[in-house]
Structure 1
Amino acid sequence: MQEILGSIWWMIVSLGILVTFHEFGHYWVARRCGVRVLRFSVGFGKPLWSRVGRDGTEYVIAALPLGGYVKMLDEREADVPTAELDQAFNRKPVSQRIAIVAAGPLFNLLLCLLLLWGMFLIGKDDYLPLVGRADKVAAEAGFRSGDRILSIDGRSMDTWTHVGMHLTGAALDRLPVEIEVQGSDGVTRSLSLDLGRLPEGLKETELVPAIGLIQLQRLLPPVVGGVSADSPAAQAGIRPGDRIRSIDGQTIGYFDEISAHVENAGEVGRPAVVSVEREDSLLELSLQPVRNTETAEGAATWIFGVAAERTAATPDAVLRFGPIDAAGAAFNETWRLTTSTFGMLYRMVSGAASLQNLSGPISIAQFANDSAQRGVAWFLFFLAVLSLSLCIMNLLPIPILDGGHLLYYLIEAIKGAPVSEKSLIAGQYVGMVVLGSLMALAFYNDILRVFSS
């Protein structure tokens, strides 16, 4: 219950900030252009709070916090007194109307830059792009344990977040990428990772794991966190806290290396010799693997009956800069996020990426809560990504959205006359259908994620 309430609260906070800034963009430019603003509303529906300012604008906080609007004086919506016609939106030159409509998305872009600037000032903790182990396609490309990823296709990689973002797009496109790494010996190497070699039929969530680059910080030490009752490990006397040093003479560096040795011993039908460190003692134990048929995948596996000690990975990279350098970093990060977002939109339209990537209010609420729990810097990053997404979404040429209005005004600027009333009405209906369909799909995706998790 606490998580649900937290998600709802942080979603309201997030959307409240972004919508207020977006609508303030429309409001501020409209006032600069001499347009009278009748109402500035954050949210839809029944007003929870309202007051009329000295400028005559009614400021409202409404019950449904999933958007907002700025209502301007306009002859198309109501009769306008002759004395106020010069303050009507529809009477303004097309260049000013374009500026007013574009101001909302552009203010979201500005907010994204400001949020990222603040994030870099505070310092966002993350993980260095260090390779713990390379399997599959990554191993074929020449990756080694301890490699530090320096750049991908010429773009610097400071964290695993950047690596994951770039590899996700390349994996969806099945494109080769050129990667520069620095080995644990300090020698820099150039590797070619051919993502066209990824197996066919993989789900999108399986693409990046199928590359075989295992993050060093995610590898768990070979320390026993739990022992199953009546298992070979329990019968041999293994206890939580024991560290497995070797199996059949092979050193165990990380917990996930155990399963391969267990499978090998189980298949040949012999006990495995396990060296266990307990406090200051080193014990030699003999364990006979047993078949485990109760797996989520349904396939039987050989097991000892031990579970890893779950410890949270400690961030080892902090992106923190001074005020001037943080501004440059914010511009770079905004460009990185923008290209990634447009790339994903293109892939969804072309069919290279699934429409399940669309997220609705449930996912937004969960992400908002998760980022808030990780600290101020991560919450600022989440807000920046959401603000940029709101900017891009509103610029799409869909009637009802800002991008649709901009399209109408651009047509008017080219042909020298407004778009016909009939075309406007038809566009409104088309826009409602398209927007409603996208919202329904996003909500459907949210429900699927909830029940599949």
Structure 2
Amino acid sequence: MVMLQTILAFVVALGSLVTIHELGHYLVARWCGVKILRFSVGMGKVIFSRKLGVDQTEWAISILPLGGYVKMLDAREQDVSEISEQDLLREFSRQSVWKRIAIVAAGPIANFLLAILLFTGLYLHGVPEPMAKIRVPSETSAAYQAGLRHGDLVTAVNGQRVQTWTELHWKLLQLGLAKSDASLVVQRINDNVNLKVESRELGLSLSRLTDAELESDFLTKLGFSVARPAAILQGLEAGGPASRAGLLPGDQILTIDGKAVLDGLEFTEIINASSDKSLRLLVKRGQQELTLNVTPETDVIRGEKIGRIKVQLMLAPEMLSVVNSPMSAVIKASVKTWETSMLTFKMLGKMLTGDVSWKNLTGPITIADYAGQTSRTGLISYLSFIALISISLGVMNLLPIPVLDGGHLLYYSLEVLTGKPVSERFGEIAQRAGVVLLMSLMAVAFFNDIARLMS
């Protein structure tokens, strides 16, 4: 069932995105007066079709669902010797260069508009995300040295407001790629002054991060991650080590063997690493503190000994659902789409210069995996995934590779500059080179996908 859901989620996502892309070409071509012969959802052999409209455009469904195409009246691809003079005026290559540019650019633009539409809907609905509250486990980390402390709530980065962990991560990633440092405004609870909330501005150095570090979880390398709840027991298994030790639901673990416990995640890590070892716990129960001893039982998983005391803890971070007004949602969605597009272009550029590894290039196997994962998580995650893939599809089609939209836009740009179209001979050579380049990129992407599966 998991495999079936993954395949279905992948087909729906990619099939709908390609259809939207081709619909962009179709609508602008019609607007420019070009005659459309066929609009196909899917590739390969046509399994169903019907001709509609004054032009008798063939609307078709083809056997391979991962794709689609618009077939226009085009003298470069078909014999037009028997076409009427009236229809010849609607032939693609006879249109002005600006109309051809508009038709070709409409596909990627449709993908960007779809992403904006999806993000707008998500921002109007409200997307549950972790708060921008940080976890700083090590005093030797760059984050701690910069003045950040566990539990700090980040409210702004370089003067721009942030509310969620995603926003914080995104803005720091952009600054890291630009080799710029960050100025963080944080809210901190002062335990010494009746839990008063204080605001502080702290500087965080990002310029020293390498491109390789930015490719991975760079925030962890800086020494912080999303904050987790305190180590408060939610439930105990009857007769388990915790129950036998006298622990109760609602107990908060303050220290283990005299060392302060940061949160529930650290408590779990210590217990897992302490099988058959007696631990002394300082526990807060209500208004009193008491000391209890517990010995985790051993559980062998994949040949590794894991300590268990049979308790449940809340490890999920504090969540925040931000609901935006219609205007704010549109603006925020547009900015998100623009920034994601620019970041994708930057990463591709860094791949070409060797600053970023080609291992980051993913193919259909990885996309299918993420499609399945997000669809199982929920509709919001799945729609967010589709929006991001739509942006990637738009960006990839704008690359100046001859077989892609970006290659054709390059031809037409040269035509605008020189006043004459690119020669057929040059176009043929460039087309073949483009096919080779595109196939090479696909081979690298497939190799990376398989390598991920193997690892």
Would the TM-score normalized by the shorter structure come out above 0.5?
yes
For residues 308 and 46 of structure 1, what CA distance do their matches in structure 2 show? Answer: 58
Matched to 1:64, the amino acid is L
Matched to 1:4, the amino acid is M
8 Å contact from structure 1 (residues 129, 160) kept in 2: yes
For residues 286 and 295 of structure 2, what CA distance do their matches in structure 1 show? Answer: 24
Say whether residues 1:23 and 2:22 are aligned partners: yes
Alignment CA distance shift 1:65-1:221 (3 Å)? farther
User: Comparing 196-205 with 356-365, which one deviates more in the overlay?
Assistant: 196-205
Query: What residue number does 1:69 align with?
Result: 69
Which of 300, 311, 316 in structure 2 is aligned with 1:313?
A: 316
Which of 430, 434, 450 in structure 1 is aligned with 2:433?
A: 430
8 Å contact from structure 2 (residues 362, 449) kept in 1: yes
Map 1:32-431 to 2 at 5 A.
32-54=31-53, 55-80=55-80, 81-83=83-85, 84-135=87-138, 136-171=141-176, 175-184=180-189, 185-196=196-207, 204-216=215-227, 218-219=228-229, 221=231, 223=233, 243=251, 244-258=253-267, 272-275=279-282, 284-286=291-293, 306=309, 309=312, 311=314, 313=316, 316-431=319-434
Residue by residue, what CA displacement relative to the aligned partner does 1:95-118 show, whole Å, maximum 9, x if unpaired?
Answer: 111111111111111111111111
Alignment CA distance shift 1:143-1:200 (3 Å)? same
Say whether residues 1:8 and 2:7 are aligned partners: yes
3-state SS of paired residue (2:163): coil
Per-residue deviation at 1:445? 1.6
8 Å contact from structure 1 (residues 173, 352) kept in 2: no
For residues 261 and 417 of structure 1, what CA distance do their matches in structure 2 show? Answer: 72
Alignment CA distance shift 1:367-1:271 (3 Å)? closer
3-state SS of paired residue (1:97): helix
Q: Gaps (5+ residues) in structure 2?
A: 190-195
Alignment CA distance shift 1:310-1:447 (3 Å)? farther
For residues 384 and 440 of structure 2, what CA distance do their matches in structure 1 show? Answer: 28
Residue by residue, what CA displacement relative to the aligned partner does 1:345-379 show, whole Å, maximum 9, x if unpaired?
Answer: 23322322222222211221222223233333332
8 Å contact from structure 1 (residues 150, 182) kept in 2: yes
Q: Gaps (5+ residues) in structure 1?
A: none
Per-residue deviation at 1:281? 11
Matched to 2:134, the amino acid is V
For residues 296 and 309 of structure 2, what CA distance do their matches in structure 1 show? Answer: 11
Matched to 2:145, the amino acid is E
Residue by residue, what CA displacement relative to the aligned partner does 1:385-431 show, whole Å, maximum 9, x if unpaired?
Answer: 11111111111111100000010011112112111111111111111
For residues 261 and 18 of structure 2, what CA distance do their matches in structure 1 show? Answer: 53
The size of the alignment, in residue pairs, is 440
For residues 199 and 30 of structure 1, what CA distance do their matches in structure 2 show? Answer: 45
8 Å contact from structure 1 (residues 105, 392) kept in 2: yes
Per-residue deviation at 1:143? 0.4
8 Å contact from structure 1 (residues 25, 103) kept in 2: yes
Alignment CA distance shift 1:189-1:351 (3 Å)? farther
8 Å contact from structure 1 (residues 112, 385) kept in 2: yes
Identity of aligned residues (%): 39
Per-residue deviation at 1:163? 1.9
8 Å contact from structure 1 (residues 137, 198) kept in 2: no
For residues 307 and 343 of structure 2, what CA distance do their matches in structure 1 show? Answer: 44
Per-residue deviation at 1:130? 0.6
Matched to 1:221, the amino acid is A
* TM-score (normalizing by structure 1): 0.84
Say whether residues 1:449 and 2:452 are aligned partners: yes
